[in-house]
Amino acid sequence: METNQNYIMVALQLLGSLGLLIYGMRLMSEALQKLAGPQLRHILARMTTNRLTGMLTGTLVTCAVQSSSATTVMTVSFVSAGLLTLAQAISVIMGANIGTTLTAWIMSLGYSVDLTAIVYPAFLIGIILIYRRRRRYVGDFLFGTAFMFLSLVMLSAAGKAMDLEHNEAVVEFFASFDTGSHLTILAFLAIGTLITCIVQSSAAVMAITILLCSTGVLPIYLGIALVMGENIGTTATANLVALGANTQARRAALAHLLFNVFGVVWVLLVFYPFVNMVCHLVGYDPAAGGQTHRLPVVLAMFHTCFNVVNTGILIWFVPQIERAVCWLLPDRQKEGQTEFRLQYIQANLVQTPEISVLQAQKETAAFGQRVELMFGMVRRLFGEDSDGDFAERFSQIEHEEDFTDKMEIEIARYLEQVSNDHLSSVTKQKIRQMLREISELESIGDACYKVARTLERKHEGKASFTEQQTQKLQELMTLCNEALTQMNTVMRGHRSEHDIRETFRIENEINQLRQQIKADNVQAVNNHEYDYAVGTLYVDMADELEKLGDYVVNVVQARFGAYAKQE
């Protein structure tokens, strides 16, 4: 009875240590991402000019954040946001697979060296930094690192306490498997894949594998099969978060899966020679057995050799991989009007606030381009005469007005969700600016629709504008189009590259022309050049176009980061 209680306590210690390991690595990874959010974005966006630099970038970033899943999900997010091409993302993901091998080396170190001398000072320094607030992310990183090392110490202690090498039932169980059979290797590969998919942590599976191998009960061939399965299982994270993303993001996640599956396939073809070669590199003889203290190093070395060789092979076939995933996941074409879906924001993708804000900025810029296209439809509606063409064009504008309403709501909802996180004052300011921008952009869409409604009243009443009225409204529309183009140029670039005075200049011309139209209309109606009803339609259009110009100014002011005043 006492023996059973001891086993239960050791099992609980083992499970608790694994939980602490997963939590520590997550805390450490998130702290590093928050510390280097803008820098990581800059590195991934700028240092992927070709496949080799992309691979190197993925390796360095993964070594920094200690999580291939974090790098891969971040990369999928960037592809979704249009910051990386699919080819760039594939090379970064390849590098991430190399970078994640550092985790295995850290774990093998944890089983070979007593790390308690590092753990407790890290906890002390970490809590001091967390309470100082300004260095809280550094403190979180130290806490995560300390938890990770402490969990490795606890796992090692749990492994020794379980005394599995002297447990005849366990030894006989693993000895019953034929390590010389490929079917056995495939079975353990499947087990490793399944466990990794369930726990969503390749580090936890690696820790279990190292524990079992270091006690001597799990043969090295079966341990390496588990590691191979972990390489496939770790791709589940990116594929899960990409399920609701756009096609390019799902293709990037699929490329990660294909990369690891290809690596497992070729290793299986040369499994025993390749494993023996790795064992020889670290001075371990799998036939002789013993030397269990070397097995964690063997596993780490295999993990490194597998990913380095696999990347060395596939890095030259990035274009072919890109074509393969595009063939497997073709673009979904819809007939007729497109279904509402944001282009860059994918709410189910897990990322840092920095990336979330960047995606929202890209979506807001796309919103600006959409309302400019909508205004182009209004200009074409102004020249339509036939009933069929007019009705079709007006229906398109109605659809676009509904689309802009939904865009404002979805972007605002996303920004509110992001604002619930711990944000810097700069990021909070960006969110406030974007909330103002999307509100004004939706107002531009409303103004376009109101102009279209005025044209519909004119069309239904069979009214006609005079040549002078048509000329003045076309001039006013040209100025509004110029204002929208300038607005979108500002939204796509940086504030330092543009001058807000250009927007004010166009707005002044719009105001002056509207005032001239109103004055001319009073005189024309008094002189009976056209009837009062036509004059009302004429002035209503001019008023709505002037309001559109005001909304454009508001968007540009918000983008410049302040309520900029006209000089």
3-class DSSP state of 560:
coil
The whole-number average pLDDT for the span 412-424 is 78
Cβ–Cβ < 8 Å for 159, 215 = yes
465: its two tokens? 């504008």
pLDDT at 539 over 80: yes
Q: Which residue has the tokens 């003889």?
A: 285
pLDDT tens digits, one per residue of 58-105: 787 777 665 666 667 667 766 765 667 788 888 888 888 888 788 778
Same structural domain, 83 and 170: yes
- What does the pLDDT read at residue 552? 93
The count of domains in the chain is: 2
Q: What is the pLDDT of residue 471?
A: 92
The model's pLDDT over 140-166, given as tens digits with 9 standing for 90+, comes to 878 777 877 777 777 767 666 666 666
- Percent helix / strand / coil, the chain, rounded to 5: 80, 0, 20
Give yes or no: residues 314 and 393 share one domain. Answer: no
Q: How high is the mean pLDDT of the chain?
A: 79
**pLDDT bucket at 476, cuts 50 / 70 / 90:** very high
What is the C-alpha separation between 291 and 216, in angstroms, rounded?
Answer: 9
CA distance readout (Å), 249 to 24, 93, 328, 357, 523: 28, 12, 13, 18, 60
Token readout for 538 is 């004429």
pLDDT at 564: 42
The per-residue pLDDT for range 320-358, each reduced to its tens digit, is 988 898 888 886 544 334 455 676 676 545 456 666 777
Are residues 174 and 310 both part of a single domain?
Answer: yes
Length of the chain: 567
Phi-psi region of 133 (alpha: psi -120 to 50; beta: other; left: phi over 0): left
Domain end, chosen from 328, 361, 380, is at 328
pLDDT at 490 exceeding the cut of 60: yes
CATH assignment at residue 391? 1.20.58.220
Q: pLDDT tens digits, residue range 214-235? A: 777 788 888 889 888 888 887 7
Distance CA 135, CA 133 (A): 5
8 A C-beta contact, residue 155 and residue 21: yes
Q: 521 and 537 in contact (C-beta within 8 Å)?
A: no
Q: Are residues 452 and 499 located together in one domain of the fold?
A: yes
Phi-psi map region of 287: left, alpha, beta (phi>0 left; psi -120 to 50 alpha): alpha
The Cα–Cα gap between 145 and 143 comes to 5
For residues 320 and 455, membership in a common domain is answered with no
- Let me know whether 267 and 411 are in one domain: no
pLDDT tens digits, one per residue of 283-303: 877 766 666 677 888 888 888
163-166-167 Cα angle (round to 5): 85
Q: Which of 352-366, 396-410, 427-441, 543-557 shows the lowest per-residue confidence on average (mean pLDDT)?
A: 352-366
The stretch 433-450 carries a mean pLDDT of 92
Residue 450: pLDDT band (50, 70, 90) is: very high
Q: Residue written as tokens 């102009």?
A: 451
Judge if 128 and 183 occupy the same domain: yes
- According to the model, what pLDDT value does residue 437 have? 93
| 518 CB-contact burial (10 Å; exposed 0-12 / middle 13-18 / buried 19+) | middle
Shared-domain flag, residues 15 and 80? yes
Assess whether 275 and 385 both reside in one domain. no
Asked whether residue 91 falls in the same domain as residue 233, the answer is: yes
Residue 534, CA distances (Å) to 149, 455, 470, 525, 529 in order? 80, 11, 12, 9, 10
Contact between 48 and 54 under an 8 Å Cβ cutoff? The reply is yes
Both ends of the chain: CA-CA distance in Å?
Answer: 87
Structure tokens at 494: 């940086």
| SS3 letters across 88-130 | HHHHHHHHHHHHCHHHHHHHHHHHHCCCHHHHHHHHHHHHHHH
- How far apart (Å, rounded) are the C-alpha atoms in residues 468 and 394? 24
Cβ proximity of 59 and 340 under 8 Å: no
Q: What are the two backbone dihedrals, phi and then psi, of residue 215, each rounded to the nearest 5 degrees?
A: -85, -10
pLDDT at residue number 65? 60
Q: What is the extent of the structural domain holding 84?
A: 2-328
Domain end: 312, 328, 344, which one? Answer: 328
Give the domain-ending residue among 294, 328, 362: 328
Q: How far apart are CA 444 and CA 371, in angstroms?
A: 7
Residue 101 tokens, joined: 């091998």
